[in-house]
Structure 1
Amino acid sequence: MPTAREAILTALHARLQTLAATALRGDVLPERIPAAGLIILRDGTPGAPEVTLSPLTWFYEHRAELEVVIQAGDGRDALFDALTAEIGAVLATDRTLGGLCDWIEAEAPEPVDLPVDGATALKAAVITIVLHYATSDPLA
């Protein structure tokens, strides 16, 4: 049985795989970026929880990260904007990931252009995804 944390991250990755962009989890940036874009889910950190004693419960605001990368010539900015909007729409369809967490929300991206020698520049951003959930054990 996976931990609450792993079940939530697995559900988030599965949700991202419904997008046209390729969605990976914990992988390195490949040499080629798919035409529709690339999303890499990083597990992030659960942070310091708030704890209640009766019943004993740990409340987390886990901060996972999505590395979003686009490499296209013309229309790169529009494609990047469309992909980030799609991510927001997919997250909004079920903010509890099927009841696995209390709430999921994304923070606004800060896009940057990354030059690549001999190729079209990349447009990329890290989007922080805040996962609010509770568990009866920090290791469960």
Structure 2
Amino acid sequence: MPTPRETILTALHARLSVLPATALRGDVLPERVPAVGLLILRDGEPGDPEVTLSPLRYHYQHRAEIEAVVQGIDRDAAFDTLTASIGAAIATDRTLGGLCDWVEAEAPRPVDLPVEGAASLKAAVIQVVLHYSTADPLS
């Protein structure tokens, strides 16, 4: 049975998978970026939890990462559309069906990356904070 952390990350990946961009999880950047854009969900860092007693609960603010990448002539508009669609997908249900207490994304910090012999990439790492609690730090 998957842990709550894995269940939450799987639900976030499923939410990203409905977007027009190709959504991967934990993969390396492929040689070619699809025309509709590319999203790679990274598990990120759960951080140090706050702990409450009676009952014992570990409260996390887990920082997952979404690498958003577009390529092409109109990459500024494509990047804007892609990041807005990520925000809209998260806003539709900020609890991921009750798995989290709250999910929120932080603003991207885009960079332009030159590619030899091809159109430049526009990319950013978008931090997604997942607020959730577990009964055990390993679950």
Question: Normalised by the size of structure 1, how large is the TM-score?
Answer: 0.98
Paired with 1:45 and 1:6, the residues of 2 have a C-alpha distance of 12
Residue 35 of structure 1 aligns with which residue? Answer: 35
1:54 to partner: Cα distance: 1.1
Alignment of 1:1-140 (within 5 A): 1-73=1-73, 75-140=74-139
Paired with 1:65 and 1:34, the residues of 2 have a C-alpha distance of 20
Paired with 1:92 and 1:12, the residues of 2 have a C-alpha distance of 12
- RMSD (CA atoms): 0.4
1:107 to partner: Cα distance: 0.3
The secondary structure found in structure 1 opposite 2:89 is: helix
Paired with 2:75 and 2:10, the residues of 1 have a C-alpha distance of 29
Percent identity over the alignment? 75
Paired with 1:77 and 1:40, the residues of 2 have a C-alpha distance of 19
The secondary structure found in structure 2 opposite 1:86 is: helix
* Cα offsets for 1:29-57 (capped at 9, x unmatched): 00000000000000001000000011100
* Cα offsets for 1:3-35 (capped at 9, x unmatched): 000000000000000000000000000000000
1:72 to partner: Cα distance: 1.1
Structure 2 unaligned residues grouped into runs of 5+: none
Structure 1 unaligned residues grouped into runs of 5+: none
Question: Normalised by the size of structure 2, how large is the TM-score?
Answer: 0.99
Shift >4 Å, 4+ stretches: none
Paired with 1:72 and 1:100, the residues of 2 have a C-alpha distance of 37
Paired with 1:64 and 1:57, the residues of 2 have a C-alpha distance of 21
* Cα offsets for 1:68-99 (capped at 9, x unmatched): 000011x2101100100000000000000000
The secondary structure found in structure 1 opposite 2:6 is: helix
The secondary structure found in structure 2 opposite 1:82 is: helix
